[in-house]
Amino acid sequence: MTETTVASPCAKVWGALVLLGFLSFIFGLLMMFFPNLTALVVLTLIGVLIIIMGVIGLIFALFTPAGEGKSTLLLIGGILGILIGVGFIIYPAIIGIVLTWMIGVVIFFIGVLQLVFGLAEKNIPGRGLYVLAAIISIIFAILFMTYPTIGGLIIFGYLVAIYFFINGILIMAAGYHMHKVCQELPA
C-alpha cells in the first residue's frame, strides 16, 4: 500500500505568497515603463465598465414592474452609471486625482492591517517583513492623499507602480522565508 502525503497548510501558503508577490512585482514593473498609458487605459476601462453596468441597470429598470420601488432605483442608478462612466472617459485627469486619493485611503488601511498582523502575530515567520510592508504602505498612502493634484495621472502611474513593485518584492521574500521555516518543521 502506498502512502499519500497531504501538503501542510504551511506548504500551501508560502507558494501563494510568492505568486502574489511575483504578480504584484510584474504589475508594478509594467506600470513603471508605461505610467501615462497605464493610467489612461485603466481610467478608460473603468469608464467603459461603469457605462456597461449603467446600461444593464437601465435594462433591468425597464423590465421591472413600474410599481416596485427598485425600478426607480435601477433607473436612477443606470443613468448615474452612464454619466459617471462618460465622465471617466472625458475627464480622466480629474477622475485620476479622485482615484489617486481613494487609492491612498485603501492602501492606508492595507498598511494598518499589515501592521496589526505583523505586530500581533508574534509566532509568524518573517513578521518583520509584514511590518516593513506596512510602513511602506502607510508612507505611500500619505503621499497619495497629500499630493493628489500633482499630476493625478502621473501619480497614479508611478506611485502605484512603485508600491506594487516594492510590495511584490517584500511579499515574495516573506513567502520564501515562510517556505524555509516550513521545511524545518517536523512532518
Taken in order 124, 143, 155, 88, is the CA torsion positive or negative? positive
Quick one: pLDDT band at residue 84, thresholds 50, 70, 90? very high
Per the rule left: phi > 0, alpha: psi between -120 and 50, beta: everything else, 152 is alpha
Q: Which of 25-34, 104-113, 124-133 has the highest mean pLDDT?
A: 104-113
User: Whole-number mean pLDDT of the chain?
Assistant: 83
Quick one: pLDDT band at residue 83, thresholds 50, 70, 90? very high
Rounded Cα distance between 34 and 32, Å, is 6
> Does residue 33 fall inside a structural domain?
yes
> Does residue 28 fall inside a structural domain?
yes
Tell me which of 18 and 13 has the higher pLDDT.
18
CB 136 within 8 Å of CB 80 = no
> Does residue 122 fall inside a structural domain?
yes
> Does residue 187 fall inside a structural domain?
no
**Domain residue limits at 26:** 16-180
> Does residue 10 fall inside a structural domain?
no
Quick one: pLDDT band at residue 5, thresholds 50, 70, 90? low
CB 164 within 8 Å of CB 28 = yes
> Does residue 11 fall inside a structural domain?
no
Tell me the whole-structure pTM to 2 decimals: 0.53
Phi, psi dihedrals of residue 99, rounded to the nearest 5°:
-65, -40
Mean pLDDT of 98-108: 87
Predicted local distance difference test score (pLDDT) of residue 176: 86
How many CB atoms are located within 10 Å of the residue 23 CB?
14
Mean pLDDT of 69-86: 89
Rounded Cα distance between 80 and 60, Å, is 14
Count of the separate structural domains present in the chain: 1
Rounded Cα distance between 164 and 172, Å, is 12
> Does residue 3 fall inside a structural domain?
no
> Does residue 185 fall inside a structural domain?
no
